Structure 1
Amino acid sequence: MIRNAFSAMSIDRRFSISVAVALLPVLILCGRLVVHEWHAYVVADGALYAFQSYRAGLQAIERVSAERGPTNSALGEDLPTPEARRAALRRARDESDARIEKLIEMLQASRCPACDGDLARIKEARNELAGARANVDQLVRLPLAQRGERAVSSAVDGMIKVIPQFAPAIDALAANVVKGDTRALNCLILATLTADLREAAGQLGSHFTATLTARRALRQEDQLAIERTEGRVDQLRELIDAHVRDRSTLESTAFDRMNQLYFGEGIAYIAEVRRLASRSGGAAISPAQLADHYVPMMRPITVFRDQVLDLAETEIRHHRSNALALLAASGLAACVLLAILLSMATLFRRRVIRPLLDATHVIGAIANGDLTAEIPAARYRGEIKAMFNAIGVLKANSVERQQLERERDRLIHELKATAETDFLTHLLNRRAFESRARASCAERNTAEPELALIMFDIDHFKKINDTYGHATGDHALQLVARLCLDTCRPSDVVARWGGEEFAVLSRVHDAAEALAIADRLRRRISETRIPFNGKDGFTITASFGVALASACDSRDVARLFRHADRLLYQAKEAGRDRIVADPIGVPSGSA
């Protein structure tokens, strides 16, 4: 019936229906192309906004970190606190609050459901900052003699602990940027490393606040904290240098200035303060004097970070412009294609269908004897090649998108691996180790019911660096790492805890098995010679602390770490090259 009805239509109407049916798939393809490019533009635009939020987050962290300078100065001043110090502290807090509020506003304006958790964490960090400030203000209102050293240290630590609360939100924003523009990944990593360097540099100065306020010499725990932070600064410098070498456009005056002023003069100044503070009676330097001299040396770090962020923003904006251009081009191409097809149909209708109708009319007129009908003359043309060009454009865009997605997944995988691995020893880093430890504490294993944490520290490692050089010291760390992997079981979790300190997490049947593992490792380390200048070199020893989760009476990871660290400290105090465990200790040379 439909076929008969279609045959009964005039050729003009049948042609119109056929053109409409033929144009429908073309219209769908063009629509898909435009929608695809629109989605690419939306993602690129979202990446730019995420980058701006990411930048605001780094700036907020930097201002909160910089606030510790005036805070430490105020904690070291006796009453009445000089107006200049109070004014500096107010300005620093106002700047921190302004940066945090800007970040919160940007996250609220993003209309991103996934950002709600990040927003909540930022607000929680703001509340913790307010609490830390209140603690500082309470101490500042007391005379200097009544400010307990432990209270001052707690106040400084409270300000430091605020910074990590920002990290999850900043990492999430960086991931959103990478999703929109993978080419910005290197700059984002470098900017994050530089921000971490600024925080570590600030912490390095803050380690002296309680000591200088109390006007006493540095203690062993102070020295350890300073050395760990210095190790973190050195690690960050190596990572930053590696990324700058991979991208020559980042080698600039700001980078050279950072190396000269901070890594040259700043680190030297901290070393001098540490030398003075290690003497009996401490250093005759106040926290305010330390901040006035040291804080300006950290500013090139922020300048270099801003330069990296400017370069990243330029790249992201360029990517967004390209996406917009592709969207406009695809929309224009779709419109032009449809116009061409309609023009072709109209031309075909005018040059073929209408002359055919006219011929039918003329033939009918002649058949009826009307010889006055005019016989028209027509020239005919037609093109359909443009449609295939549109399909080719759609295919090319799909292929390009698939390649970009594969590259993005590869880069994200590399970033995750880099974030969990110590660059020197290729063991797990501290962050990854803590994550594995939390998971192990939550597990239950009837075959090996006991969870043991073995922490050890290479004895007199600074002397090794001073005597044989840092390159030999690094080689020693790498040899120790290989010994750990060769000695420990495949199921054990081995990590470089920081500096010359290592950690092993092991499932064992009992304390004796844990001690056996630690002693095996201690023996292998002491029996291994470290080559130097092509000769036999020298040997090293290590001090061990072995903590059992059951001995801590807790499955709390932080408590287990603290317990193992105390045991390690006892081993070093007892003469080094030995193992101290709870409930029993194993002296040097015993199993």
Structure 2
Amino acid sequence: MIRNAFSAMSIDRRFSISVAVALLPVLVLCGRLVVHEWHAYMVADGALYAFQTYRAGLLAIESVSAERGPTNSVLGEDLPIPEARRVSLRRARDESDARIEKLLEMLQAGRCPGCAVELARIQEARNDLASARENVDQLIGLPLAQRRERTLSNAVDRMIKVIPQFAPAIDALAANVVKGDTRALNCLILATLTADLREAAGQLGSHFTATLTAHRTLGEDNQLVIERTEGRIDQLRELIDSHVRDRPTLESTAFDKMNRQYFGEGIAYIAEVRSLASRPGGVAISPAQLADRYVPMMRPITAFRDQVLDLAETEIGHHRSNALGLLAVSGLAAFLLIAILLSMAMLFRRRVIRPLVDATHVIGAIANGDLTAEIPAARYRGEIKAMFNAIGVLKANSVERQQLERERGRLIHELKATAETDFLTHLLNRRAFESRARLSCAERNAAEPELALIMFDIDHFKKINDTYGHATGDHALQLVARLCREICRQSDVVARWGGEEFAVLSRVQDAAQALAVAERLRRRISETRIPFSGGEGFTITASFGVAFASACDSRDVDRLFRRADRLLYQAKEAGRDRIVADPVSVPSANS
């Protein structure tokens, strides 16, 4: 019926309907193209704002970290606290508060709709910072003689622990930037590493506060913490150097100054203070004197970080401008395309369809015997060619868009893998291990009811680096990682905990099964010879701490970690190359 009705229409009417039907897909494709470019522009614009928020977050972290300098200074001063020290501390706190407030303002729902989780984390960090400051204020209200070394260390540690609470929000903001502009990934990684370096450098100085205030000899625990921090600084330096080599434009005066002033003068000064503080009776250096000399040596780190951030912001801004240009071009192109197609349809109708209608009338008139009808002249052209060319352009744009989507997905997957993997050993890193440990702790398995946490540390690893070089030390870490993969089950969670420390989380039937795994690891490590180009190689040993839990939840994971770490250091104190484990009767992680 519809076909008969369509056939009964005049050719002019049928052409109009056909043109309308033919133009509809073109309108849809043009609309989709414009919408796609609009979405691309909004993503690029969001990436720029996410970067600005990310930068504000790094500045807030820097201020909180820098606040520890004047904090450490006043903790080492006796009453009455010098006014200059109080003013310095007040200014540092004001700067921290201002930058945190700016970050919170940028994370508000009106300006950053998807940042509710990040906003809550920063607010929690601000509250913890206020609590840590309260604790410091209580301490500095006491005479210096009444400030116990352990209390001072606790005050410094509470200030330090505020910084990691910013990390999840900063990582989420960096991921949002990469979604909008993948080319900014290298700069973001480098900026984050430099910020981590600034924090580690600040922590290195803060580790001396309690000892210098008490005028006591640097204890073994403090020595160990300092060594781990120095190892983290060395690791960050290697990572920064590798990323700078990928971007020669970053090898600037700021980078050279950072290497010369901090890694040269700053590290040397800390080594000098550490040597003096290790002598009996301690050293006559106050935390304020340490801060006055050491803090300026850290400033080239932030100067280099700012240079990296400036470069990243310029690149992201260019990407946003390009997206805006593409949006304007695609909108104009779509408008012109539709206008051209309509013009062509009207031209075709005027030059082809109308002459056919006139010819029909003329033929009908002749058939009826009317020989006076005038026969119009007609000329035919290939106007339809432009439309097929336009459709070819639209198809090419769609193919290109699909390729970009696949590439984006691949890059996001690689970013996630990079964030969870230790770059040297290719094991899980500490953050990923903690996350999976919490999931494992919440699970229940009747066949394997015990949860075992094996933590071990390569003995005398600093001596290996000093004797054979960092490259040989890195190779030793890689060999230990390989042994972990060979000995542990596929279901076990294995990670490089940090520096020369490793961790294994395993579901076992009983404690004996976990101790057997730890013993195999200890034996294989001690039997493995580490090759060295300058000799026949050497062997290493490791100390183990094994903690158990029959039942726990995510809140108990930290206690399990601390207990395993305590057992590990008991193994070291007992002579190293041994395993110290929980009593088999430990029922849960609450003990």
TM-score by length of structure 2 reads 0.91
Provide structure 2 residue ranges, at least 5 long, that are not aligned to the other structure. Answer: 585-591
> By how many angstroms is 1:377 displaced?
5.8
Corresponding residue number in structure 2 for 1:70: 70
Q: Distance in 1 between matches of 2:466 and 2:136?
A: 39
| Counterpart amino acid of residue 414 in structure 1 | E
Structure 1 residues 447 and 22, CA gap change in structure 2 (3 angstroms): closer
SS at match of 1:108: coil
Alignment of 1:300 with 2:300, yes or no, is yes
Q: Distance in 1 between matches of 2:554 and 2:548?
A: 10
Alignment of 1:29 with 2:42, yes or no, is no
Corresponding residue number in structure 2 for 1:178: 178
> By how many angstroms is 1:7 displaced?
6.1
Structure 1 residues 478 and 371, CA gap change in structure 2 (3 angstroms): closer
> By how many angstroms is 1:275 displaced?
1.0
TM-score by length of structure 1 reads 0.91
Q: Distance in 1 between matches of 2:183 and 2:120?
A: 29
After TM superposition, list the pairs within 5 Å mapping 1:207-356 onto structure 2: 207-355=207-355
Corresponding residue number in structure 2 for 1:588: none
SS at match of 1:543: strand
> By how many angstroms is 1:219 displaced?
0.9
Deviations 1:127-159 (A, max 9, x none): 111111121122222222222222222221111
> By how many angstroms is 1:18 displaced?
3.7
SS at match of 1:255: helix
Structure 1 residues 490 and 534, CA gap change in structure 2 (3 angstroms): farther
Q: Distance in 1 between matches of 2:341 and 2:132?
A: 70
Structure 1 residues 155 and 374, CA gap change in structure 2 (3 angstroms): same
Structure 1 residues 581 and 551, CA gap change in structure 2 (3 angstroms): farther
Q: Distance in 2 between matches of 1:403 and 1:471?
A: 40
Q: Distance in 2 between matches of 1:89 and 1:408?
A: 46
| Counterpart amino acid of residue 115 in structure 1 | C
Query: Residue 212 of structure 2 contacts residue 287 of structure 2 at CA under 8 Å; is this kept in 1?
Result: yes
Alignment of 1:120 with 2:120, yes or no, is yes
Query: Residue 217 of structure 1 contacts residue 280 of structure 1 at CA under 8 Å; is this kept in 2?
Result: yes
| Counterpart amino acid of residue 446 in structure 1 | A
Corresponding residue number in structure 1 for 2:589: none
| Counterpart amino acid of residue 480 in structure 1 | V
Corresponding residue number in structure 1 for 2:587: none
Corresponding residue number in structure 1 for 2:433: 433
Query: Residue 106 of structure 2 contacts residue 112 of structure 2 at CA under 8 Å; is this kept in 1?
Result: no
| Counterpart amino acid of residue 62 in structure 2 | E
RMSD: 2.8
Q: Distance in 2 between matches of 1:83 and 1:104?
A: 31
SS at match of 1:99: helix
SS at match of 2:547: strand
Count of equivalent residues: 584
| Counterpart amino acid of residue 324 in structure 2 | L
Deviations 1:480-536 (A, max 9, x none): 333333333444333322222222323333333333333333233333333334533
Q: Distance in 1 between matches of 2:534 and 2:211?
A: 44
After TM superposition, list the pairs within 5 Å mapping 1:490-509 onto structure 2: 490-509=490-509
Corresponding residue number in structure 2 for 1:587: none
Moved more, 336-345 or 419-428: 419-428
Q: Distance in 2 between matches of 1:270 and 1:455?
A: 29
Q: Distance in 2 between matches of 1:448 and 1:410?
A: 37
| Counterpart amino acid of residue 151 in structure 1 | T
Corresponding residue number in structure 2 for 1:92: 92
Moved more, 170-179 or 484-493: 484-493
Deviations 1:28-73 (A, max 9, x none): 2211211121111111111111111111111111111111111111
Corresponding residue number in structure 2 for 1:442: 442
SS at match of 1:457: strand
Alignment of 1:131 with 2:109, yes or no, is no
Structure 1 residues 380 and 267, CA gap change in structure 2 (3 angstroms): same
SS at match of 1:532: coil
Query: Residue 459 of structure 2 contacts residue 576 of structure 2 at CA under 8 Å; is this kept in 1?
Result: yes
Structure 1 residues 329 and 452, CA gap change in structure 2 (3 angstroms): same
The percentage of aligned residue pairs carrying the same residue is: 88
Q: Distance in 2 between matches of 1:7 and 1:494?
A: 75
| Counterpart amino acid of residue 414 in structure 2 | E
Deviations 1:312-355 (A, max 9, x none): 12221222122111111111111111221222233233334455
Deviations 1:354-373 (A, max 9, x none): 55566677889999999999
SS at match of 2:298: helix
Alignment of 1:512 with 2:512, yes or no, is yes
Structure 1 residues 352 and 471, CA gap change in structure 2 (3 angstroms): closer
| Counterpart amino acid of residue 287 in structure 2 | P
Corresponding residue number in structure 1 for 2:150: 150
Query: Residue 450 of structure 2 contacts residue 551 of structure 2 at CA under 8 Å; is this kept in 1?
Result: no
Query: Residue 441 of structure 1 contacts residue 555 of structure 1 at CA under 8 Å; is this kept in 2?
Result: no
> By how many angstroms is 1:549 displaced?
2.2
Query: Residue 551 of structure 1 contacts residue 582 of structure 1 at CA under 8 Å; is this kept in 2?
Result: no
Q: Distance in 1 between matches of 2:553 and 2:103?
A: 42
| Counterpart amino acid of residue 447 in structure 2 | A
